[in-house]
Chains A and B, each alone.
Chain A
Amino acid sequence: MNLLDELIAVISSPMLQRSLLAALVVGLAAPVIGTYLVQRRLSLLGDGVGHVALTGVAMGWLVGSWTGAEPNDAYAVLGAVVAAVIGAILIEVVRSRGRTSGDVALALLFYGGIAGGVVIISIAGGTNANLTGYLFGSLATITTGDLIMTIVMAAVIMAVGIGLRTALFAVSQDEEFARSTGLPVQVLNILIAVVAALTVTVSMRVVGLLLVSALMIVPVAIAQLVTSSFRRTMFTAMGVGAAVCVIGLVITFFQRLAPGATIVVLAICVYAVVAAVRPLLSAGRGRAADPHPDMDDDVNVSKAGARE
C-alpha cells in the first residue's frame, strides 16, 4: 500500500476526519487572539490562563461526580471555560493597575491553578491520569458534539478578533491614545482577555493546556518575521496555524507521536527555518535603499579612505 492509499484510508475514517477538522479550526482561530497578545507583550497570558483552566476542569469533574453525571467529565469543559474567563479577567485587572506586585500576583495565579486542579481532581475521586488528556490534548477521542462546540467557539473567537480588528488593535498598540479617542478601553481590554480565555479552552482539546500558548503565539512569531503590517501578520499567522495543526496531526497518523506536542514541535521548527532563511530572502531588497531619503546628509565626507 503506498502513501496515497494510506492517506485516503485515513481521511475516510470519521474519527480522523473529526480530529482533522478540529485541528484546522483551532489552528485558524488561536493565532487571531495571539496577535493581540504579542502586541501587548502578554505572550504568556495564554499560559497563565491555561494553568487556571486546569482548576476549572477539576471543578467540573467534581461537580460531575456529585451530580452523578455520565460521563464523569461532562462539566469539565464548562468548568474550564468559567475558570479561564475568571482567570483572564483577574490577570487583566492586575495588568491594568500596573502594580509592581502584579508579577508575583500572576505567579500565584499560575501555580495555584495547577496545584488546585490536581488537589481537586483527587477530591473528586480521580487521578492525575484523568488530567493528562487536558494537559496534553486529546484529539483522538473527540466526539461530534465536541467538534460542534469547537467550531462554534472558534467562530466566536474569529468574529470578535477579526470583526473588531481596528478597535482591538488601537487599544493594544497605544492604550493612552485609544483612551483619548473615547473608545471604552477597559471594555475592549476585558473583551480581549475573555476571548483569550475562550481560545485557551478551545485549544485545550488539540494541544493540551500546557501547550495552548504555543498555538496562539508561535504562528504569530513566524508571521511577523515576514510581514510588515498588522493585518497581514494576523492573516498569515492564521494560515500558518492551520497548516501546522493539520500537517502535524497527519504526521501522527503515520508515526506514533503525541499529536499536540508534534504540532508544537513542527511550529517551532518552521519558526527556526523561516528565521534562518529570512536574511537570505531580504538580502536583495531593502539593504541598499536609504531608509530616510528626505534627510539631507549632515556633514560632507570625502569618498572612501578619507585618511591619508
Chain B
Amino acid sequence: MSDLISVTDLRVDLGSATILRGINLTVGEGEVVALLGANGSGKSTLMRSLLGLVPITGGDARLFGTSVRTQRRQIPWPRIGYVPQRAAVGSGIPATALEVVLTGLLNDRRWHVPRGGRARGLAALESVDLGDRANSPLHQLSGGQQQRVAIARALVRRPDLLLLDEPMAGVDRPTQQTFARLLATLQSEGITVGIVLHELGPIRPLIQRCVVLRHGQVAHDGGIPAPAPGHGDADHEHVHLDHGHHERADVHEAVTPRSLP
C-alpha cells in the first residue's frame, strides 16, 4: 500500500458540534500537501484526528495502512513526525532546546534516549539553524526559534511522514526562510509532508497539491486554488503580521537544499 494517509468518510464531533464530516483524502508517498481553509474550517482538527489526538466519531483514517481508530498500537509511530500548532513552552522548570528535541527520539517502544541520540539531536537543531542555541533554555528563545525547536523535535525522528500544524503562523523571517529551505530538502529526499496553513506565503513554489476545507468538508483538492476576491490583488496588503508577501523574494533565495540529520 503506497498511500501513507488514507481517510474515508471521516467524521469528527467535539461535544455537540460536528467539526468534520464526509472527508475523503489520500496522500501518496513523497507528496507535499497543503491543507488550507479559513479559521474554524477544521484543518487542525483533521490533522489531529489523523494522529489520534481527537476521537474519530465516524469513518476511518489510516496511516501507513493501519487504522488510527482501531489499531492505534500497531501504527509505526517512529516513522511519523508531528509539529503542533503552538509548541508548549512548559511552565516554571527551565528546559534546554536540546532536552526538548531529545524527547522526539521516544516512541511507543523506546522510553529512553538511545545511544548517539545527543548527536542526532544536535544535528536536528543544526538543520533548523539553532545549533548554537542547543543549551539555551526554551523560554529565552523567540517564538520563531521555539517553533524551529518544535520542528527539530519532529525531524530528529527521521520521519517518513511529517505533519506540521501552522508552522508559519506569527514567526520571524529567519524562521520562514529556514522553513522554506527545509521543506525543499524534505521534498528532494522524498519525505511525505502535510502542512496546515492559513496561507501559502513564501512556500508557494514548493506546493503541488492543496486541499481546502470549508465548514468541515473538502471544498477543493488539486492545484493551488485562486485566492478569493479581495485576497489576491497586487496591492493587497495583509494586516496580519504573519503573511509578509514582500519578503517572498528573499525567501526564494534561501531555498537551497541542505542535508538533514
Give A contacts to B, CB under 8 Å.
Answer: 35, 38-41, 164, 166-167, 169-170, 172-184, 220-221, 224, 227-231, 233, 291-292, 294-295
Contacts and interface: CB of A to CB of B under 8 A. Distances in A.
B94 A227 contact: yes
Given A166-B106, A167-B106, A294-B174, A228 B91 contact: no
Given A173-B88, A183-B111, A292 B142 contact: yes
Given A179-B51, A228-B96, A292-B142, A172 B90 contact: yes
Contact of B93 (A233, A292, A294): A233
Contact of A183 (B82, B102, B106, B135): B106
A40 B51 CA distance: 23
Given A174-B88, A177-B153, A228-B135, A183 B93 contact: no
Contact of A184 (B108, B140, B150): B108
Contacts of A39: 90-93
Nearest to A182: B77
Closest 4 CB pairs of A and B: A182-B77, A182-B108, A170-B103, A180-B82
A297 to B, nearest CB: 12
Interface in B89-107: 90-96, 99-100, 102-107
Contacts of B157: 181
7 contacts: A38-B92, A38-B93, A39-B93, A177-B87, A179-B52, A182-B108, A228-B135
A179 B82 CA distance: 10
Interface in B28-73: 51-53
Given A174-B103, A180-B53, A228-B136, 6 more contacts: A39-B93, A40-B91, A166-B106, A180-B82, A181-B108, A230-B94
A23 B257 CA distance: 58
Interface of B: 51-53, 75, 77-78, 80, 82, 84, 87-88, 90-96, 99-100, 102-109, 111-113, 129, 135-137, 140, 142, 145, 150, 153, 157, 172, 174
Contacts of B91: 38-41
A221 B94 CA distance: 11
Contact of A179 (B53, B94, B145): B53
Contacts of B140: 291
B106 A170 contact: yes
Contacts, number: 117
Given A179-B51, A228-B94, A174 B84 contact: yes
A173 B90 contact: yes
A260 B51 CA distance: 47
Most-contacted residue by chain A among B51, B90, B135, B150 (CB, 10 A): B90
Nearest to B76: A182
A127 to B, nearest CB: 40
Given A39-B90, A39-B91, A167-B111, A176 B84 contact: yes
Nearest to B80: A180
Given A164-B111, A178-B103, A220 B93 contact: yes
A290 B125 CA distance: 20
